[in-house]
Structure 1
């Protein structure tokens, strides 16, 4: 199998991504808004990436991170309408992604409100494929279900149902869960600083931090070690769906 794209929905601050290591196999695709020092193919809102009969349409959706994108997926061998959307850490089953890991909570929340309004305009039958679920700290009420539909979330996702920006900001900026103690450092590493070509330094740094940051809890510490050994655990796959 030939890998054509390594797509990152955003620069991560909550887990270790090896997308940069895989970039030697296929070029990394990131939002043109990404502030990173690693080489990447920039994409803009509305750009399309082709994979045989499949087309990935890029939607710029800041909020969880300033550079965040979603991928609207259409299979041209079927009726030529979008089939599912890779939502990264914006719309997650049961919740929305937190907004304060890269900018202020209020700024991120206002960006996210505008982004989810675009998602609400999509057809109700669309399957959503998020990059996180239960046990991730990217939200507060994440379901263990790895997929849903836009229509179901419109009815039962409390954050997604809010219609005014003022109410949305209040809701999203209260009771924010504890962030990974090294969130800023992880974003810096994923942006290109501190990473050797083979990813060795990233792995050692993340492993050491997971042992030092006892406030993170043994469950998340075990999950990170399991991911670094090459396995998969609850909350997030090792690489995430299309980069998560």
Structure 2
């Protein structure tokens, strides 16, 4: 498997290029609009064709590069089936699987940060039949969890997020966690500057995961909420194709 993590600082976000080198099939996850050519150039260097472009959710802090990347590569654009957009995409639901060569992508519906949020569990089938890592977007991040009020009420989002975190932490402890943001992002609090972790480490030390009661978790998520991103409503509408 080939894997690249891109740590971006304006805005603070993480995006990913991964896939099967032997069969030349690549996947880009959470691309930023200004970085589209970088993903294409990197894929060419690695000898991969980009076959899938995935947004873990409809972002509210930056403009997605997914549609532009799809136009340039002919890849399929993947979103959760509940995504509210004015354009067509390939819908997935909880438990669906796609293959990019020998790389298996298993989709988990993990709402909370946004209603349509998905996480992507990745398996390199040339090494084994068990997952290796999970791309968690803005659901489970290193040190905390994603904010919950940019696309719903803060309380409803927190209720959904509580259940989504339980789903993610049911994965094996050794599975690596690669989030969509890190320290300095407005989409979470108490985030680490280390942009990867494991399920087991987060279960032991992540602030949000230390709360086992749903009502206490909702209360936790409604306090010390960071400032909202500038023009977040307009950015999300643009990513929905409604601006």
Query: What is the deviation of 1:42?
Result: 0.4
RMSD between aligned residues? 0.8
Q: Provide the residue aligned with 1:184 in structure 2.
A: 233
Q: Provide the residue aligned with 1:96 in structure 2.
A: 145
Which of 52, 59, 67 is matched with 1:20 structurally?
67
Which of 81, 94, 107 is matched with 2:130 structurally?
81
Query: What is the deviation of 1:27?
Result: 2.1
Is the Cα–Cα contact under 8 Å of residues 53 and 69 in structure 2 kept in the other structure? yes
Query: What is the deviation of 1:193?
Result: 2.0
Asked if 1:33 corresponds to 2:82, the answer is yes
Q: Provide the residue aligned with 2:117 in structure 1.
A: 68
In structure 1, what is the Cα distance between the partners aligned to 2:188 and 2:209?
A: 12
Matched pairs, number: 194
Which of 85, 93, 108 is matched with 1:59 structurally?
108
In the superposition, the TM-score normalised over structure 1's length comes to 0.78
Q: Provide the residue aligned with 2:95 in structure 1.
A: 46
Is the Cα–Cα contact under 8 Å of residues 63 and 238 in structure 2 kept in the other structure? no
In structure 2, what is the Cα distance between the partners aligned to 1:143 and 1:52?
A: 33
In structure 2, what is the Cα distance between the partners aligned to 1:36 and 1:16?
A: 14
In structure 2, what is the Cα distance between the partners aligned to 1:36 and 1:121?
A: 31
- In structure 2, stretches of 5+ residues that fail to align are 1-47
Asked if 1:125 corresponds to 2:190, the answer is no
**Could you give the per-residue CA deviations for residues 141-198 of structure 1, whole angstroms, max 9, x where no partner exists?**
111111000100011111122111011001111010000130010000000023xxxx
In structure 2, what is the Cα distance between the partners aligned to 1:158 and 1:6?
A: 31
In the superposition, the TM-score normalised over structure 2's length comes to 0.78
Q: Which has the higher helix share?
A: 1
**Could you give the per-residue CA deviations for residues 9-45 of structure 1, whole angstroms, max 9, x where no partner exists?**
0000011221111122212100001001121000011
Q: Provide the residue aligned with 2:223 in structure 1.
A: 174
Is the Cα–Cα contact under 8 Å of residues 61 and 230 in structure 2 kept in the other structure? no
After the TM superposition, which of the residue ranges 103-112 and 11-20 deviates more from structure 2? 11-20
Q: Provide the residue aligned with 2:52 in structure 1.
A: 5
In structure 2, what is the Cα distance between the partners aligned to 1:15 and 1:143?
A: 20
Asked if 1:140 corresponds to 2:164, the answer is no
